[in-house]
Amino acid sequence: MPADIRLLILPLPDFALLPFGAFLDKLRFSADDEDYSQQRYCSWTLAGLTGEAVPSSSGAVLHVEANAHELNLAEYDYLVLFGSRNASATAALAPACQQLLKRAAKAGLQLVAIDNAAFLLAACGLLDGRKVVVHWRHEAEFRAAFPQLQVLREQLYCIDAGRITCAGGTAAIDLAVALLAQACGRARALKGLADMLVDESRDSRHALRSLDADAGQGRQVQRALALMRHHLGARASIEQLAAELGISRRQLDRQFQASHGMTAKAWWQEMRLQQARWRLVNSSHSLAQIADEVGLGDASYLGKCVRQRFGCTALALRSQGAYCGVPNNPVQ
């Protein structure tokens, strides 16, 4: 008897272990009546782009069962892709993956992009007209690369007309529950959460409390931080941000001084610089591209700000990694 849901799982080179393991283990718990790991109610195949072992971002290597290009796609309901830590490297796989992905879509498979795999689907033109969810750290980069696509703000995942995107991390558990509930019913979808020490399945619009640097801060500051992340690459001013919140700049600054010991403008600048530092270390994008992504104007201004904040040039920061004399990071 065929399984209720059949998945072809394709981790891309340098994939993150957390969302991969979380998603796969949720499938395993729901696949059998007991904890016997039999693929009765849901089944899956682990495949690679070549059939060779696939390295993860942590260095652990995954041995796959097959080459995805050689499989009969009609035997599956979903193609689940796990992206790498480097979003631009994931997007660069488009020439090697486009035929496979378009063949899967034509065969009726729902395409699932977890973590930065959304960059690959977008680069292949397979997210056109769909709403997209990406990890908050890569949102500005995604918006800059694919300005025609609608990115949903701070959601865990989105299911939209045969295209499914997920921010990654433990949100992969919540997405797995949603997909299993559609195919197997909610009771089976929730099976095993207690074994995974997960309290409950979260809605796709669940707001992460951990995105707030201080859980005790006021609601206006929390909303301001969310808007700062959303408008990271924009040329918006603090006055515009305060107006969107319905308060004056002076009121916003007073609240930031009380909760963070600096003005809202200083905090936003620090947020941009920390994101620029992360992008310098974890991408090959030019200084001009990164400056545009984080709202710091041009390469020259980015370089000046980096020297002032981190005590070294942007290129030195990139070549020496995250520990190039970098002071403590007040933005979490």
Residue ranges per structural domain of the chain: 5-190, 211-323
Q: What is the pLDDT of residue 330?
A: 63
Q: What is the pLDDT of residue 207?
A: 74
CATH C-level class of 5-190: alpha beta
CATH fold of 211-323, please? Arc Repressor Mutant, subunit A (1.10.10)
Q: What is the pLDDT of residue 216?
A: 46
| Digit-coded pLDDT (tens) for 274-287 | 999 988 988 888 99
Pairing state between β 163-166 and 110-114: parallel
The C-alpha atoms of residue 128 and residue 102 are separated, in whole angstroms, by 13
Backbone CA torsion sign across 191, 195, 198, 199: positive
Say which amino acid occupies 227.
L
Q: What is the pLDDT of residue 322?
A: 56
The C-alpha atoms of residue 196 and residue 219 are separated, in whole angstroms, by 32
Please check whether residue 21 is in contact with residue 173, taking contact to mean a CB–CB distance below 8 angstroms. no
Q: Kindly give, in sequence order, each residue whose CB lies less than 8 Å from that of residue 91, ignoring residues fewer than 6 positions away.
A: 119, 120, 122, 123, 145
Please check whether residue 222 is in contact with residue 212, taking contact to mean a CB–CB distance below 8 angstroms. yes
Question: pLDDT per position in the chain (332 positions), as tens?
Answer: 789 999 999 999 999 999 999 999 999 999 998 888 899 999 999 999 998 999 999 999 999 999 999 999 999 999 999 999 889 899 999 999 999 999 999 999 999 999 999 999 999 999 999 999 999 888 888 988 999 999 998 899 999 999 999 999 999 999 999 999 999 999 999 999 999 999 888 989 887 766 654 444 577 888 898 888 888 888 888 999 999 888 999 999 999 999 889 999 999 999 999 999 988 988 888 999 999 989 998 999 999 999 999 999 999 988 876 566 556 566 65
pLDDT more than 90, % of the chain: 70
